[in-house]
Amino acid sequence: MATTQTSDRGNWNSKLGFILAAAGSAVGLGNIWGYPTQVADNGGAAFILVYLVCCILVGLPVMIAEITIGRKTGKNPVGAFKALDKTGYAHLIGYWGVLCGFMILAFYLVISGWTLAYVFEEIFRFTGNAGYAAWFGDLTNGPKNAAFTVIFLLLTISIINGGVSNGIERATKFLMPVLLFILVIMIFYVLRLEGSAEGIRQYLKPDFSLINIDLTLSAMGQAFFSLSLGMGALITYGSYLKRDQNIVESATYVTVTDITIAFTAGMLVIPAMYVALAQGITIFGDDGELISSVSLVFTVLPQLFENIGGALGLTISISFFLLLALAALTSAISLLEVPVSYMIDEHNMRRKNASWVIGGSIGVVAVIISFDINLIDYFVYIFNEIGLPLGGLMLCLFLGWVWKTENAVVEIKHGFENADNSVFVKLWRIFIKYICPVLIAIVFITTVLDIIRS
């Protein structure tokens, strides 16, 4: 069976291939749907500040750690922790990751399905078929949600079936630049409209009094989610990485790309909200809160597109939802790749069988969520806001105190000969061992105390 295992594993074909695939994993609904919604929900620039701190002080070190563990072991998260373990328990961190990946993908598919459905919603609305448009645009329509969820799942499975370099790498190499291009074009358009200046002000003017533990937990969860950390997606992608590549440099590229795209998406969505406001569309309820977080992007932006009107409005709106769908697809494949690589490595399954079995099971949970979208909030809270930082905390403790950072540096030196003398790497060792776990733990402990007190 060992031959099945090696033949169904793979490698990235080029240096850029890994960076693009990892960036493709990182850039997704988290950037274009999650981040702007969180910013709007949590008081604008105050959130951005805490988010940036989380990304740089915790996210980047954890990303380097994940890729290093992945490349060192060449395995899925469960197998990777098992291979480096001395305690007999570390594989549980891997299982936690596989579980989080499974559950996150379940709700991720539903939202991704919405992005596809909205392409049709926009076409029908612009061509005057209000009835059809309403049907495609109804986020609570269970059967419709389920249908698009399944379509999106099939797209994801078909790419995963193609394997590492054929499927994932080829797809992301093409999709990432397209995505960036469409985003920039749209920003140029929106920034010319009335109201956008107020949006920019709200986006960039921090109100420090808004920083509290809820905001910090959200920012930490958002950082892990957006950078695809805490569940082993980058352990898995790192396991396909060749030894000539500089891990520290690659992780920095991916982190910077992800932050840049989130920030850019905010430059689009937040001003667009205020443009909508200037045009008389309600975006805040009486309590000053956003009307509905999960659906914000799906309700406010189409109104804006309609106001633009004509062929141009239609083109922009279709591009936007296609862009969201493409970004979601390159992330969904990395979420599915985690449990699939686990089945290939640990249960000697063939790639195709693994992707159908795992994809099918996730599909069942996703269809259940399709019929009750309130479940999304619970899934986000448990598996994203709590689950991912918890996975990250355990990973830091494992690397810092069990496997040991000096062993990690030996791996990092492949592709980065000077790693031993690099100040950055020295700092990284301190961060992984002490600072990251302490920061994550503080956020957790404060949250628990807060819940107990309230």
Contact map string, positions 86 to 125, toward ligand PHE, x by CB under 6 A: ------------------x---------------------
The distance of closest approach from Cβ of residue 16 to ligand PHE in the complex, given in angstroms and rounded to an integer, is 19
- Is 25 a binder of ligand PHE (CB under 6 A)? yes
- C-alpha angle with apex 41: 49 to 106, nearest 5 degrees? 100
Give residues with Cβ within 8 angstroms of 99, minimum separation 6. Answer: 383, 387
- Is 231 a binder of ligand PHE (CB under 6 A)? yes
- Is 255 a binder of ligand PHE (CB under 6 A)? no
The secondary element (H helix, E strand) that includes residue 338 is helix 310-346
The distance of closest approach from Cβ of residue 332 to ligand PHE in the complex, given in angstroms and rounded to an integer, is 8
Of 274 and 342, the one with the shorter C-beta distance to ligand PHE is 342
Of 319 and 334, the one with the shorter C-beta distance to ligand PHE is 334
What letter does residue 401 receive in the DSSP assignment? I
* Residue least distant from ligand PHE (Cβ): 30
Encoded amino acid at 150, one letter: V
- Is 30 a binder of ligand PHE (CB under 6 A)? yes
Rounded Cα gap, residues 79 and 99, in angstroms:
15
Beta bridge partners of 284: 290
- Is 159 a binder of ligand PHE (CB under 6 A)? no
- Is 409 a binder of ligand PHE (CB under 6 A)? no
The distance of closest approach from Cβ of residue 244 to ligand PHE in the complex, given in angstroms and rounded to an integer, is 25
Stretch that binds ligand PHE, among 21-29, 84-92, 313-321, 353-361 (CB under 6 A): 21-29
Of 167 and 415, the one with the shorter C-beta distance to ligand PHE is 167
Residue 112 CB neighbours (<10 A)? 29
List phi, psi (to 5°) of 202: -60, -35
- Is 31 a binder of ligand PHE (CB under 6 A)? yes
The distance of closest approach from Cβ of residue 409 to ligand PHE in the complex, given in angstroms and rounded to an integer, is 26
With CA atoms as reference, report the closest residue to 221 among 433, 55, 453: 55
SS3 per-residue string spanning 89-121:
CCHHHHHHHHHHHHHHHHHHHHHHHHHHHHHHH
Task: Using CB atoms within 10 Å of the CB of residue 222, give its burial: 0 to 12 exposed, 13 to 18 middle, 19+ buried.
Answer: buried
Q: Which of 225, 240, 298, 342 binds ligand PHE (CB under 6 A)?
A: 225
In the chain, helix, strand, coil percent, each to 5? Answer: 80, 0, 20
Q: Which chain residues interact with ligand PHE by CB under 6 A?
A: 25-26, 28-31, 104, 225-226, 228, 231, 233, 331, 334-335
